Structure 1
């Protein structure tokens, strides 16, 4: 049974990926800052699936090292790493201070580096492995009011491409999956915030996000999870260094 480790597994896309991979027979390690959401995810997984819950702050290299050690002791070497932890606070650039910039970079970019650093040596030695970075369409284009997030996600894509070349002859693939606006708690909270601050209706607030998608809808977390599942499979062994947009054509 292969071991997949998912960061940000307590909700949204990370939880959907955990459910999909568990259903396909993976042993899954669920990483996040708080144990309660991780437990809630575990309760939705395939019955009798092998699962490990580890609380971890991906911005802290020591915390990451300890978490990966615990996960590997419980379920064996990590054969598929899915970096899904992230945060996208909205701030106009002229109000963004250095501390806010640094925090967004720490979660979205440093966290990916910290986790990759834990698995790459073992994957190189074994001659196999999969790394999938959930990078967002913000790695492919700009969005107003999230300049730090866009910069971090562009960095994730750069890291993905560079590392893919380093590992291409080692049996290891690394790709970025780039979802558009996805139907998660983050978007639902954003819609509620727009409604409360502007007085617009819920449908009008939701259109703020759906209108960027040529299909006129939010992406479902399961669509992202299915893309990750394919990239983890032997069928995708020639796919590496790619940015796969799951966005209804937004980045065409």
Structure 2
């Protein structure tokens, strides 16, 4: 299925999963607005078919203004990928409200604001896809990461509710739920786990590798392939789903 003349918007589009999905969509003909907090990071990775746009998903006014500008420049958003997120673990008894609010403001509030503003133009079209990047932590409890797990559970609840709210219309809402993916987040978490647990960084990385049932890190291309399925032909009846990408049951 060609995505020619379709406009996609991806938050956290400058690295990792977001960038891989952006590259996949451009290869299929879409124009992609990639957003993130740092313009220089976006400028560095943007290719033909991508527009880099600095946007802070925690800031409602910024989300409203920047998505309106993207629509003005490239037309209605028909593929919305709320991907921006924080992935930091902390024991519940050590979690203060600043940490909690920051995580929720990015992972859940940011997803909601991005989807809400994208829907304003998507509803003027006859086709649309919302693909939220959640996590296996959105389907099960993750020890040492209650805040992160709660934010990703909330994202899945949001997507399921939206699929019901727009049922019968030509828009679908789904979540991708990867296990541990080989991205800069895993690199950062390797150091964090090592320091918190008092183990080597190699052992910390192996903990994440072993958490995936097939005992390897997932590639970003495996996640973008799932997104490709959801924007491809025959995807119209895939709606309200949480698609596990974790190498097996977890």
TM-score interval for Structure 1 and Structure 2 normalised by the shorter chain: over 0.9
* Counterpart in the other structure of 1:64: 63
Corresponding residue for residue 15 of structure 1: 19
State the 1:20 CA deviation.
1.0
In the alignment, structure 1 residue 171 sits paired with structure 2 residue 170: yes
TM-score by length of 2: 0.93
Q: Work out the CA distance in 1 between the residues paired with 2:135 and 2:63.
A: 22
Contact 1:180 1:219 in 2 (8 A): yes
Query: Partner residue of 2:242?
Result: 243
Deviating more after overlay: 163-172 vs 120-129? 120-129
TM-score between both structures, scaled by the size of structure 1: 0.92
Relative distance call for 1:201 and 1:132 in structure 2 (3 A) is: closer
1:190-222 CA distances to partner (integer Å, 9 max, x unpaired)? 2244556735262x2321101111100011011
Per the alignment, residue 53 of structure 1 pairs with: 52
Q: CA contact under 8 A between 2:190 and 2:201: conserved in structure 1?
A: no
* Distance (Å, rounded) in 1 between the aligned partners of 2:164 and 2:199: 50
Tell me the equivalent position of 1:26.
30
Question: How many pairs were matched up?
Answer: 245
Contact 1:9 1:41 (8 Å CA) reproduced: no
Structure 1 ranges of 4+ moved more than 4 A: 193-197
Distance in structure 1 (CA, Å) of the matches to 2:92 and 2:193: 20
Distance 2:199 2:101 in 1: 33
| Distance verdict in 2 for CA 1:190–1:124, change over 3 Å | same
The answer on whether the counterparts of 2:88 and 2:189 sit within 8 Å (CA) in structure 1 is no
In 2 relative to 1, CA 199–68 (structure 1 residues): closer, same or farther, beyond 3 Å?
Answer: same
Report matched runs for 1:199-218 at 5 Å. 200=200, 202=202, 204-218=203-217
Residue aligned with 2:89, SS: coil
Shift of 1:120: 1.8
1:103-252 equivalences in 2 (<5 Å): 103-194=102-193, 198=198, 200=200, 202=202, 204-251=203-250
- Which blocks of at least 5 consecutive residues in structure 2 are unaligned? none
- Give the Cα–Cα distance (whole angstroms) in 2 for the partners of residues 75 and 149 of structure 1: 34
> 1:246, CA displacement in angstroms?
0.5
Check conservation: 1:52, 1:75, Cα contact below 8 A. no
